[in-house]
Amino acid sequence: MKGFTYGLLFFLSICSYGQNRVNRFLKPSDTLNIPRRNAVIISEASIGAISLVGLHQLWYKDYPQSKFHTINDLDEWLQMDKMGHTYTSYQMGRMGAELLEWSGVRKKDQLIYGATLGLVFLTTVEVFDGFSKEWGFSWSDMASNAIGTGIYVGQELLWGEQRISLKYSFHRTEFAPMRPDKLGDGFMEEFLKDYNGQTYWLSFNLHSFFDDTRIPKWLNLAIGYGAEGMLTGKNETLNGQFPDQNRYRQVYLSLDLDLTKIDTKSHILRSLFSVFNTVKVPFPAMEFNGENGIKLHGIYF
């Protein structure tokens, strides 16, 4: 979860930087704009370094260090943490590439130096884990990070656009109060830590696949993955606690909006739409799970 938490903080910091400068730099450059490119590189490097130092001080300093070691945590949290790594790597890479596009950097360099931003940042976090006795370097986390980057780069190479977006949604659950130290105490912590309330989505832009139809350019079909009943990483007891976890996976089908496909000449709105397109728009949803079969949601977050 550390990768997702600090990746999100890093991602939001970059978004904040972009919005602070939006009144001066409204339109992406058609050619290489060296001052813009340098500003992006310096800002990303500075924010990344500060984030990693802060991560080390806040998360690792109170735990003993060890020799570099690996762990296998693929079977924990019904793979919800892996979904978080994939999502974070994708969104950080998308933002990195878009910032370089805004600077007029050529497409090839956008993919090499921008889209790999999430992979580089999260790899550093994994190295920190590898030297911490409390955790360890996780190859499954690394695979998830690579998948997230690959989803972005692959679509740019194949289609020249993002027809399938990775998105996130969250709702509060009854499980966080049962274990607030692990799942979060209060909305902001639960938003980042409570896997039971998180859903990760593949949002398909229908018009991009069927451009000869009258389907609106902004209408998406979304398939989500979630899980519930989790109080520990595995179905286990801790000091005699949490013996009766009823853990199960969930698959969702819903509609969504691709905000980046909304026609507007305002570069301010385009920037805002790009930021908010990281989150799935609430819509009615159909849930499939092994516990209750099919469940309908009037509005699902």
The token pair at 106 is: 């050529």
pTM as predicted:
0.89
* Residue percentage of the chain with pLDDT more than 90: 73
Core vs surface per residue 251-271: b (16+ CB within 10 A) or e = ebebebbbbbbeeeeeeeebb
Q: Out of 14-18, 38-42, 172-176, which region has the weakest mean confidence (pLDDT)?
A: 14-18
- The mean pLDDT value for 198-203 works out to 98
Contacts with 242 (C-beta within 8 Å, 6 or more apart), sequence order? 179, 231, 232, 236
Give bridge partners of residue 164 from the DSSP assignment.
204
Q: pLDDT band at 119, cuts 50/70/90? A: very high
Q: pLDDT band at 78, cuts 50/70/90? A: very high
pLDDT of residue 131: 93
Of 174, 263, 193, whose CA–CA distance to 1 is shortest? 193
pLDDT of residue 15: 52
Q: Out of 1-5, 69-73, 134-138, which region has the weakest mean confidence (pLDDT)?
A: 1-5
pLDDT of residue 59: 74
Long-range contacts of 273-278, Cβ-Cβ distance < 8 Å, separation of 24 or more: 274/98, 275/15, 275/19, 277/165, 277/167, 278/11, 278/91, 278/167, 278/168
Determine how many CB atoms are found less than 10 A away from the CB of residue 186: 10
DSSP 8-state assignment for residue 60: I
* pLDDT tops 90 at residue 251: yes
Of 206, 225, 224, whose CA–CA distance to 216 is shortest? 206
Give the containing element (helix H, strand E) for 163: none
Higher-pLDDT residue of 110 and 244 is 110
Longest Cα–Cα distance in the chain: 63
* pLDDT tops 70 at residue 239: yes
Q: pLDDT band at 89, cuts 50/70/90? A: very high
